[in-house]
Amino acid sequence: MPKITIDSTEIEVEKGTTVIQAAEQIGIDIPRYCYHPGLSIVGVCRICLVEIERMPKLQVACYTPVADGMVVHTNNEKVQQARRAVLEFLLINHPLDCPVCDQAGECWLQNFYMQHGLYDSKMVEDKVKKQKALPIGPNVMLDSERCILCTRCVRFCDEITETHELGIFNRGDHTELLPYPGQELDNKYSGNTIDICPVGALTDKDFRFRTRVWYLTETPSVCPGCSTGCNINVHHNDHRPYKAGGIRVSRLKPRYNPDVNQWWMCDEGRYGFTQVDADSRIVAPQKKTRGDWQLLSWQDAIDEIATKIKGILKKHGADAFGVILSPQMTNEGLFAAKRFFQETLEVENIDFEVVAREKGYADDFLMKADKNPNSEGAKKIGLSAVDNSGLEVAQMLADAKDNRLKALYICHHNLEKGFKKEEVKEALSKVDLVIFQGTNQNSTSNLANYCLPSASFVEKDGTFTNFAGRVQEIHKAVEPLGESKPDWTIFRNLSKRLGKSMPYFEAGDVFNALAEEVDAFKGLSYEKIGEHGVLLNGHRASTEKEMGALVA
């Protein structure tokens, strides 16, 4: 392998590595605009120029492969002068509208000017005017004047989605980025073009003018939109007090994970977080009395539900009790549910799979037809009807319709997605006690006797297991809305009220118990899960790529 010296530091790298990649390995960050590790290399922006000894001119670091004995200087006076010249060239026609630009605070033109520019401009001419605030798709706005023609977005549409919506048109200082005639940027991953745009040329319609980025805090998490489990950062505003009807979560951005989603995420997951602050959120325990909902304290709700559960079990037995859990729940919530229903109540009719009548969109890149983040976790924990020798969901509803089921505990599901509305309504109307536990109201929660508020994925700690068996952590970004609680906390409190305590005080306690009792999770801990997750026992490291989670 070739050995090179970069700024007096010697490093040995793989053959074919470029100078910019070699520099990254020793923590030297060479500025770049057009270079992106997930896209082809074009070397058009020229901001990454470096000096290589025995070469007469400065070289483009992103395009130049290393050679044995190469000596590179990334920050001497000659390099700095070249970067200032490149910045001046890029800013000749760039509008001075930073105060009203949504990219302010995360703009690479701003950052690199402060690091490498700070020159007195030689230009006095009027700037070339181009199109501003041009919608080029359902999610993306284009400001052509701000574009520096790095072509990242063009290459993304050509190489990653292969949808080819964008191109570079005209010549000279009138060159600009535009969609091809008759097309718009409307693929399933269009939001990624906003992420990789280094300036304010492509901005997000949904996020546009919502808040300044320096008010936002990042919390690492996992997208709950499908079973891929793309790694994300939740951007939330902690600097302003939350008001009813306001927005706490401003946006979701992909977080790099080489084994799952690399740098990308789909638009379905990116814009699917609005239910977190929606008006439909269940914010307090409540019961239905004569057709009207009445708010309860947690203590009263737990007492009433526990008393009714005990009465039904005593009178009708465990066979008259059905439980429909959800793969939207974390591993911790599912495991606590298993302990509560199987050990405390001795119920066997437990299932979690409600097959949607309309199959979700899927492709061979990231999007899966299973729109739940934790179906694999539910299977491994042993919560299907087959594992419990109990009734499947469809049979539970059939038994409810025939008055054989007297209590039904439903978590998160809208049963109308898998069954006809009339079937669900008739079945639940025959059940003496229907308890709904979830984040948001839906047609199923409206048919329940009690509703218990569950914390959403941004309001709790825990783990999901994706389709390939990779366990990944989610982290609490904002406080639970109203009086909502994590699912495992609700089951722990109900179990304690019914006479059997669970020694869990935080999500980590539940996961430790899970790792002791369930073979697939044995030996795992939050520490071992780490930033990029860890595969369950028995899963091979290459499983996700083999199953099509990534495009090579």
In tens, the pLDDT along 312-328 reads 999 999 999 999 999 99
Question: What mean pLDDT do residues 333-361 have?
Answer: 92
Question: What mean pLDDT do residues 400-423 have?
Answer: 94
pLDDT for the residue 537: 86
pLDDT for the residue 547: 44
Task: Decide if pLDDT at 244 tops 60.
Answer: no
Under the banding of pLDDT at 50, 70 and 90, the label for residue 115 is confident
Q: Are residues 310 and 162 in the same domain?
A: no
Of 31, 66, 90, the residue at which a domain comes to its end is: 90
Q: What is the CATH number of the domain that holds 310?
A: 3.40.50.740
Q: Residue 79 sits in which domain range?
A: 3-90
Is 236 part of any domain? no
Of 162, 182, 204, the residue at which a domain comes to its end is: 204
Is 480 part of any domain? yes
pLDDT for the residue 227: 95
Is 161 part of any domain? yes
Task: Decide if pLDDT at 242 tops 80.
Answer: no
Please answer whether residues 233 and 193 qualify as being in contact, where contact means their C-beta atoms are separated by less than 8 angstroms.
no
> Does the model's pTM come out above 0.85?
yes
Q: Are residues 426 and 520 in the same domain?
A: yes
Strand 321-324 relative to strand 292-295, pairing: unpaired
Strand 71-73 relative to strand 3-6, pairing: parallel
- As a whole number, the mean pLDDT across the chain is 92
Number of domains in the chain: 3
Q: Are residues 144 and 198 in the same domain?
A: yes
Q: What is the CATH number of the domain that holds 156?
A: 3.30.70.20
Q: Are residues 315 and 389 in the same domain?
A: yes
pLDDT for the residue 543: 45
Q: Are residues 449 and 515 in the same domain?
A: yes
d(CA 62, CA 44): 10
Q: What is the CATH number of the domain that holds 84?
A: 3.10.20.740
DSSP state of 440: B
Angle 99-176-154 from CA coordinates, rounded to 5°: 100
Q: Are residues 408 and 539 in the same domain?
A: yes
pLDDT for the residue 552: 37
pLDDT for the residue 386: 80
Q: Are residues 105 and 141 in the same domain?
A: yes
Q: Are residues 460 and 398 in the same domain?
A: yes
pLDDT for the residue 296: 95
Sheet harboring 71-73: ordered strands across? 9-12, 3-6, 71-73, 49-52, 59-60
pLDDT over 70, % of the chain: 96
Is 522 part of any domain? yes
Of 90, 106, 123, the residue at which a domain comes to its end is: 90
Question: What mean pLDDT do residues 41-47 have?
Answer: 93
Under the banding of pLDDT at 50, 70 and 90, the label for residue 45 is very high
Is 216 part of any domain? no
Q: Residue 403 class from Cβ within 10 Å (0-12 exposed, 13-18 middle, 19+ buried)?
A: exposed
d(CA 176, CA 94): 12
Q: Are residues 179 and 294 in the same domain?
A: no
Under the banding of pLDDT at 50, 70 and 90, the label for residue 384 is confident
Q: In terms of Cα–Cα distance, which of 31, 52, 35, 56 is closest to 44? A: 35
Is 234 part of any domain? no
Is 222 part of any domain? no
Q: Are residues 308 and 441 in the same domain?
A: yes
**281-319: per-residue pLDDT in tens?**
999 999 998 889 999 999 999 999 999 999 999 999 999
Q: In terms of Cα–Cα distance, which of 370, 376, 381, 413 is closest to 394? A: 413
Q: Are residues 371 and 490 in the same domain?
A: yes
**177-210: per-residue pLDDT in tens?**
999 999 999 999 999 999 999 999 999 999 998 8
Q: Are residues 26 and 137 in the same domain?
A: no
Under the banding of pLDDT at 50, 70 and 90, the label for residue 541 is low
Is 275 part of any domain? no
CA dihedral 33, 34, 39, 43 (to 10 degrees): -130
